[in-house]
Chains A and B, each alone.
Chain A
Amino acid sequence: MKKANLNFYISSKTLSLNTLYDKIWSLHRVTELPEGSTQLFVGLHLIHEVTSPQAFAALDEKGLKVLCPERTIATVDHIVPTITQSRPFSDPLAEEMLQTLEENCKKHSIKFFKIGSGNQGIVHVIAPETGLTQPGMTIACGDSHTSTHGAFGSIAFGIGTSQVRDVLASQTLAMKKLKVRRLWFDGKLNQGVFAKDLILHVIQKLGVKDGVGYAYEFAGPAIDHFSMEERMTICNMAIEAGARCGYVNPDQITFDYLKNKAFAPKGNAWDEAIKWWKSIASDKNAIFDDEVRFNASEIAPTVTWGITPGQAIAIDSLIPSPESLEKSDQQIALEAYKYMDLKPGSSLEGLNINVCFIGSCTNGRISDLQKAAEIAKDRHVAKGVKAFVVPGSEQVAKEAEKQGLHKIFLKAGFEWRKPGCSMCLAMNPDKLENNQISASSSNRNFKGRQGSANGRTLLMSPAMVAAAAVTGAVIDVRKLINKKI
């Protein structure tokens, strides 16, 4: 791997030319603001119950209206319980948040995908699967994992609540142009290695800071062969590498996915759309600010051992010693050993697990559940382990049930839940207790992230989580594939 030169906050000049990012940026540029930032039009604005109420309140305080209500779509995901979703929710705060969202959507004529509508789910799962997310768009949402939508060749980024207010009021944002780094992947992933492993590997190699100031273009033969859902997994975690957005150029795989989706163009508009979508991909001679190259065939199943997504190792290697790390990473490594109660030089394989969580905007889609079900099939969750599967959306749940995946999980001793963000961030009843260790297909292993102040999270692919569930400990999933352990 070739490491790039990194200059944070030093040079504001970007070199990139004719990349997808440059093209979409130019097309959505409204004007240059006097303070030196660019006013950028937001093509699709997604909102949910956590980061929108304060934005609507601020709008009311200023006596402003929603400028383009037809370009904003709402759903509820973070706070929904996943066992029973009957109203009112047992948590009055959660109920209040949902009611506030319902009232705001009604008042401002915003389309709301409510529970039971068939379209509710995690915002980064439902927008792609309904065809709202399309190539060439700028997409904003008050949630950092908005980078997910970049999988379609859109420029999608998370925003804060004040910016949600700005988008509601003006359908635009004040932004600065990012640099563009191309991450090139030769080769292809080996059996038992998944998109999640690829992105955890990237974050481990480049660190959680190196993407700051960059958009990441994921490209190369390995990415060309990825399905849309695999592309969503890697773009989803671009933000964990520090990059505000990540994207993949749109291609036939993108178009095939979008064809016949509810909000995708139809008839003549479809042909016109494809023509335009093809034109916004990075040109062959596009110039990038820099490039880092990887070989996908060298990547092993990857698991985090610490308290940042960059503190990860290949399953067949050992937890690093502080001396082997860069100086700036040593302090947080010491904090991580202590918090996780893990020793440098030890292996993660064999580490007992208390809770297994399959779901989230990173890995809660149908192909993720299929891969986990392949491992769960004809096996059983180990004694003392709590394992549960949370589909990313009502559509995912419906499809999984059509395929009988829920039966495989239930038979194997997993719980089959209703759609939502669940234990990825535990703003709902799904939480770790005390210092439990979870094997989780989600995206963040920060201290306290999964609902207990001393709860511990190991991030890994859904297949690896299923493997941990049935053996009761962290295990290299390749040992279970095609074998009966």
Chain B
Amino acid sequence: MKQDTLFPQGSIHSVTGKCMYLSGNDIDTDRIIPARFLKCVNFDTLGNHVFIDDRSEKKGMHPFDQNHNKTANILIVDKNFGCGSSREHAPQALMRWGIRAIIGKSFAEIFYGNCLTLGIPCVIIKEEDASSLINFLNKNHDSIFKLELEKKMITSKEHIWEISIDNSSQRMFLSGGWDATKSLINQIEKIQTTKSNLPYINSFQKLQEKPS
């Protein structure tokens, strides 16, 4: 595990590093980090337990245990990756293991959003490009790749593969706006206006009143 690696911050234009491939559709959040490891008040140790059940079943042959993947930071996955729970523990566990970007055929929505708020781009790759990228990766485990969000591509020294990312997420990574807290608080006056216009707050319900 590579906890000493800096977590994402500020504007993110690209992610450079080694790729690893994890096959399978519908890989859910409980597989990424089984629920029994969620008992924690901070996320520090989650990286140790990422895919722990799948890994012990495969006895060292799981992609997250294979030697050539130990320093990978770009994860390639199949369809509907991250389905299941809204718990951020799953992307946190991947991030704390060392993953900084995920390339997949599709992603579960809450997982995608959780990754965005951590500064981990999830980008989409077409089926045929994915096959070609994975084929190349299988023959070139030590290749260094560069995922470029502005140009929407991932490149090795020799090859280019197209990826896609929705415009809004792309802008958020490039501007640093993925760290939403600050931009949300900046709108304090508009927040108060919206709040005071809500019938259930300004007229018929006051939560602070004691129930009768």
Contacts and interface: CB of A to CB of B under 8 A. Distances in A.
A170 B205 contact: no
B24 to A, nearest CB: 7
B80 interface: yes
A35 B184 contact: no
B18 to A, nearest CB: 25
Contacts of B88: 51, 54, 142, 160-162
Interface in B175-212: 175, 177-178, 180-181, 183-185, 187-188, 190-191, 194-195, 197-201, 203-205, 207-208, 211-212
Interface stretch (B65-73, B110-118, B137-145): B110-118
Contacts, number: 241
A183 B110 CA distance: 22
A100 B180 CA distance: 25
Quick one: which of B38, B43, B200 has the most chain A CB within 10 A? B200
B42 A57 contact: yes
Nearest to B28: A446
Nearest to A135: B200
Given A134-B205, A426-B35, A448-B53, A30 B190 contact: yes
Given A162-B114, A209-B106, 7 more contacts: A36-B171, A41-B191, A143-B85, A161-B88, A172-B187, A212-B109, A451-B35
Interface magnitude class on chain B: 35 or more
B184 A169 contact: yes
Contact of B87 (A37, A50, A132, A134): A50
A335 B28 CA distance: 13
A174 B185 CA distance: 11
Interface stretch (A268-276, A284-292, A358-366, A398-406): A268-276
Contact of B80 (A34, A172, A209): A209
Nearest to A310: B26
Given A136-B199, A143-B86, A70 B208 contact: yes
A273 B205 contact: yes
A41 B88 CA distance: 21
A331 B184 contact: no
Interface in A114-157: 130-132, 134, 136-137, 142-144, 146
B117 to A, nearest CB: 4
Quick one: which of B30, B39, B203, B212 has the most chain A CB within 10 A? B39
A262 B56 CA distance: 49
A68 interface: yes
A94 B129 CA distance: 46
A453 B28 contact: no
Interface in B67-125: 79-80, 83-89, 91-92, 106, 108-110, 113-114, 117-118, 124
B4 interface: no
Nearest to A425: B35
Contact of B204 (A53, A96, A265): A265
B42 to A, nearest CB: 6
A21 to B, nearest CB: 15
B88 to A, nearest CB: 4
A453 B53 contact: yes
B194 A30 contact: yes
A308 B108 CA distance: 14
Nearest to B186: A170
A418 interface: no
B110 A160 contact: yes
B181 A170 contact: yes
A176 to B, nearest CB: 7
B205 to A, nearest CB: 6
A427 interface: yes
A158 interface: yes
A2 B205 CA distance: 41
A215 B197 CA distance: 24
